[in-house]
Amino acid sequence: MTDDVTVGRRNVVKIAHLDEILRKVRAVVFDLDGTLTNSVPQIIGCTKHTFRELYLPEPSDVAIMKTIGLELEEGLTSLLPEDKKGDGAYVTRLYREISVGHREYSEDRLFPGIENLLIKLRTHGYLIGYASGRSVMGIKRTLSQTYLGKYCDALCGGSECPSKPCPVMMEIIGSRLQVKCSEILGVGDSGLDILMYEKSGSYSLGVQSGVYSGDALERLNPHFILPYAKDLANYL
């Protein structure tokens, strides 16, 4: 069995009892990168650009993808050679400078159909939150530059709590939404997301638009699997 989580089918559907669970939950909490925003190629490109600037060996696409969801400095540090681990803070500052300075890395690109999903969630009375390994500043920038900000009841970023899959992020956002974690459906594209939802006692929906293939998600056994986050609208 390959350990490349990106390899495999991207059309897996697992929806048994989804309608039942949707009647129980009060909030839907989304990851951003690879779930709502088509930013995985941008993250890979910006990371490789940063490493080239420093004359460091470029990490592979798969290695970079496995860090998506972690707090940025933690993820970048994990990609550095052993003798450069102490440079994580500097590498992170350079990454942010490169990202801001190059539109191809910083422009927000939402997957099609996301606003329709958010409108339907609002119409059906669900609270909406965002839980991302990005910094709070980075999340707020995306919310202000896209329509996501119109559909936000709470957020939590990697700059204010331990990285995924630690459940603290979900506990914080549950508190801000004033709901129990057991009343939340978490939607994400990576193993870090699914494990965080599981550890917090939330329901989990894995989507195949970002880091993990459907086959890789199946091995983690989330409650539900769909190709894209937008597909959830079909079950509301």
| Domain encompassing residue 131 | 18-39+108-235
| pLDDT at 147 exceeding the cut of 50 | yes
* 186 and 229 co-located in one domain: yes
Q: 40 with 33: CB under 8 angstroms?
A: yes
* pLDDT single digits (tens) 59-74: 999 999 999 888 899 9
pLDDT over 90 percentage in the chain: 94
The total domain count for the chain is 2
Write down the pTM of the prediction.
0.91
Please indicate, yes or no, if residue 6 is contained in any of the structural domains: no
Which amino acid belongs to residue 223?
Answer: H
The rounded distance, in Å, linking the Cα atoms of 56 and 69 is 23
Kindly compute the dihedral angle of the four CA atoms of residues 157, 159, 164, 168, in this order, to the nearest 10 degrees: -80
Q: 58 with 48: CB under 8 angstroms?
A: yes
* 54 and 82 co-located in one domain: yes
Three-state SS for 199?
helix
CATH, residue 72: 1.10.150
Q: What is the pLDDT of residue 232?
A: 98
Three-state SS for 224?
strand
Q: CB atoms < 10 A from the CB of 150, how many? A: 12
68 or 35: which leads in pLDDT? 35
Q: What is the pLDDT of residue 60?
A: 94
Last residue of a domain, one of 106, 136, 151: 106
Q: What is the pLDDT of residue 18?
A: 98
pLDDT-based confidence at residue 1 (cuts at 50, 70, 90): very low
Q: What is the pLDDT of residue 106?
A: 85
* pLDDT single digits (tens) 149-193: 999 999 999 999 999 999 999 999 999 999 999 999 999 999 999
pLDDT-based confidence at residue 115 (cuts at 50, 70, 90): very high
The rounded distance, in Å, linking the Cα atoms of 38 and 221 is 24
Q: What is the pLDDT of residue 3?
A: 72
Q: What is the pLDDT of residue 189?
A: 97
Rg (CA), the chain: 17
| pLDDT at 53 exceeding the cut of 80 | yes
DSSP state at residue 56: -
Nearest Cα to Cα of residue 184 among 193, 209, 110? 193
- The 3-state DSSP composition of the chain as helix, strand, coil percent (nearest 5) reads 50, 15, 35
Please indicate, yes or no, if residue 7 is contained in any of the structural domains: no
